[in-house]
Amino acid sequence: MLFLVRNVWRQTEALVHLDRLQHNIRVLKAELSPGVQMMATVKADGYGHGAVEVSKAVLSAGANQLGVATVEEAVVLRQSGIEAPILVYGAMPEQAASAVVDYDITVTVAGAKDIQILADAANGHHRPVRVHVKLDTGMGRLGVRSIEEMLNVLSHISDASPIELEGMFTHLSSADEMHLADGRVYTEMQRRRFIDWLDAAKHAGYHIPIAHMANSAAMLWGPEYHFDMVRPGIAMYGYHPASVWKQAIDLQPVLELRTGITRIARMQAGEAVSYGRTYVTEKEEVIATIPVGYADGIPRALANRAYVEVNGAVVPIVGTVCMDQLMINVTGIDVEVGDPVIIYSKRIESKASIQHHADLLATIPYELLCRITSRVPRHYIF
């Protein structure tokens, strides 16, 4: 007889505090004017937190819709029983059109070909396929690039009876840099261009039910960016989109990554630790091993630079981060095998926080959250 083992014995685990997630949703909703919807961004498996559980939690806390990157991500949510509207932000592959229709998924379109593919797939079905038109106002990634191109797409939607125009949106490239002059000027340019294109669509006789552009940063910057709906991402998970805004709103980090000590060694001066001997003890030191490494999503670049928490103390990672293990210096700390170790703390001010690790690597919390691999079990706390 075969048994399926699903991470029931691992010491390494990600604790996802859904109560904190719901707190963040309520705090963010308090920033909105009446009638403004919230599309919670749950792409990339909910930024590594687990898209299904995250989606259920944010919807119960007041989010109106969900946003994902791919049709596959949307299908997973539908198969998990989630019935709320789901928008796919990314381009729709032709082969996914039938799934879009079957699972009642809203998709992004930016050309006449997209519309024809959807119309063909929807033939014979008794409900429309909802679409949002993407405008490239300055991101340089996806979307129509001119008013003329936009009007052509809208005309094709109008002629395709199974297709329903639900929204129009754009994405901001520099909203998290609006505390800088250049970032503010560029973001304002995108906002003005978005308004001009919306006006052109309305003057041409098209009704745009939902206009949206604000990610976390723009949402927090001001109501002029909110339009009909906002699309928070990183702020939902407890991180401010720019470090200068850390005191702007009460966000609580949702995820905590922890493990346990598997070995404690008292090493003499001059002994090397891990691959490449990148750390050599200067005196008698106590080095503990923990079962987590880059296969779990811990960047090797954190070696000899970052910190973790053990029994209330902050201690350094020493030696090269291995695939499945890393070492920490616990000299002077009262520890035993099995003691818990917090790799990513839920305390934003901790030197073991995701924010601090991201700052060390000159990256963003998004990347470190999304790096946490599937072999790390997620445990949900309400």
- Using alpha carbons only, how large is the chain's radius of gyration in Å? 24
> Which tokens is 234 given?
């990183």
Given the residues 43, 56, 134, 346, select the one marked as catalytic: 43
Active-site residue flag, 43? yes
Given the residues 237, 246, 275, 344, select the one marked as catalytic: 275
Active-site residue flag, 56? no
Enumerate the active-site residues.
43, 275
